[in-house]
Amino acid sequence: MKTTAVTKIGNIADPDESMRGKIEIIDFPIPQMGDHDVRIKVAYCAICGSDPHTAEGVFGTDVPIPLGHETSGVIEALGSKATVKGLKVGDKVAGNFLHFCGTCYHCQNGQQNFCTGIGRRHNTGMSEYVIWHEAQVFKLPENVSLKEGCILEPLSIAVRAADIIKSKAGARIVIFGGGPIGLLILQVLNLYGATSLTLVEPIAQRRAQALEFGAKHVIDPVNQDVTEEALRITGGLGFDVSVDASGSPHAVGSLPPVTSRGGFILYGAMYPTDFEMPINMFKYFYKNELTMAGMLLSPYTFPRAVQLLERIDLAPYVDTVFPLDNAAEAFDAHLSGKQLKVLIRCNDLD
């Protein structure tokens, strides 16, 4: 079975080939199915922003490391006890690459994202096949294509962001970072009735895309004063909710000054492991009474994300596709930042 994997850890953005994280196609055996498992013939797997971090060794350095988790495909076989959800051979599906154990303290406490018994097994999505537990698999709506279906996992992240901020209709909201997740969060919060919905993003193409997705305002942090523009947009009050989806140390310090008194800040991206953000505790926590939160994974959101797939504009996410054999070129395209999303076609199933 062909699988995309990291075979050498390094800085994937380094132009020196000898120093880069090496992406190659290698052969893995198809795992054995358990009674509760589903074998999926993979159609598409999108590249996530975390995949290059894997190639840099952020999540471990034992190579080869199979890649990919934003996956869609068609059910090819079902275990004898994979009967709870009514799945059938031939169903178009996508799903959650993690299988939560359901037994540990955190799973029992409504905190699956901290599961201590996560079963990863062979979860790589950039493969010809994946074997997932039935609990991980969700049937796609009839009107959702397999290309669009592989965006289910990142859409689940956007739904989780909406859960955490507990957005109210009419709330003034700003999002920092116009990458795939930031723009999905923007679309979801637009459905919630966000007002003064604003994107802060240095790339003009992403700002234009945000306006098409429902943003009322955009701010260029390179050529505009972010705080000044934010206060102008909100009549001097600041935003009720500020969301960081950039993961950039250059951006994160800009959120507290643009957030209203009593407002909410969500740091919803992945940050450098050694980055620490200084903050004036008196000003922002005593005087302004801000609430800040972080986000890890997206438990409990997949069933609702499936229902939203038909209400989100996914076309710009699925217009750049590379075949599995050209996975390394797909990663180069992803790192260029020119495409909103890059997909890898693992089998011809359209």
Confidence band for 270, pLDDT divided at 50, 70 and 90: very high
First vs last Cα of the chain: how many Å apart? Answer: 20
Question: What confidence score (pLDDT) does residue 189 get?
Answer: 98
- The CATH classification number of 158-294 equals 3.40.50.720
Q: Which of 246, 245, 247, 243 is nearest to 255 (CA)?
A: 243
pLDDT tens figures, 192-234:
999 999 999 999 999 999 999 999 999 999 999 999 999 999 9
What's the CA gap between 36 and 250, in Å, rounded? 46
- Listed in sequence order, the residues at least 6 apart from 284 whose beta carbon sits closer than 8 Å to its beta carbon are 256, 290
Question: What confidence score (pLDDT) does residue 61 get?
Answer: 84
Token pair for 90: 């031939």
Q: Domain limits of the chain?
A: 2-151+314-345, 158-294
pLDDT at 14 over 90: no
pLDDT tens figures, 59-117:
888 888 899 999 999 999 999 999 999 999 999 999 999 999 999 999 999 999 999 98
Question: What confidence score (pLDDT) does residue 15 get?
Answer: 72
Secondary-structure class of domain 2-151+314-345 per CATH: alpha beta
Secondary structure of 229-286 in the HEC alphabet?
HHHHHCCCCCEEEEEECCCCHHHHCCHHHHEEEEEEEEECCCCCCCCCCCCCHHHHHH
- Listed in sequence order, the residues at least 6 apart from 242 whose beta carbon sits closer than 8 Å to its beta carbon are 173, 174, 175, 176, 255, 256, 258, 259, 263, 264, 265, 266
pLDDT at 237 over 60: yes
What's the CA gap between 43 and 94, in Å, rounded? 10
Question: What confidence score (pLDDT) does residue 120 get?
Answer: 53
Contact indicator for 233, 287 with CB cutoff of 8 Å = no
Return the SS3 of 157.
Answer: helix
pLDDT tens figures, 274-327:
999 999 999 999 999 999 999 999 999 999 999 999 999 999 999 999 999 999
- Cα within 13 Å of Cα(95), Cβ side: 32
pLDDT at 6 over 90: no
Confidence band for 123, pLDDT divided at 50, 70 and 90: low
Q: Quick count: other Cβ atoms within 10 Å of Cβ 349?
A: 14
| Strands (DSSP E) found in the chain | 2-8, 22-27, 37-46, 65-66, 70-78, 92-95, 129-133, 137-139, 172-176, 195-200, 217-219, 239-244, 259-267, 291-294, 321-323, 343-345
pLDDT-above-90 percentage for the chain = 85
- Listed in sequence order, the residues at least 6 apart from 101 whose beta carbon sits closer than 8 Å to its beta carbon are 107, 115, 116, 117, 118, 119
Q: Quick count: other Cβ atoms within 10 Å of Cβ 325?
A: 12
Question: What confidence score (pLDDT) does residue 31 get?
Answer: 85
pLDDT tens figures, 178-191:
999 999 999 999 99
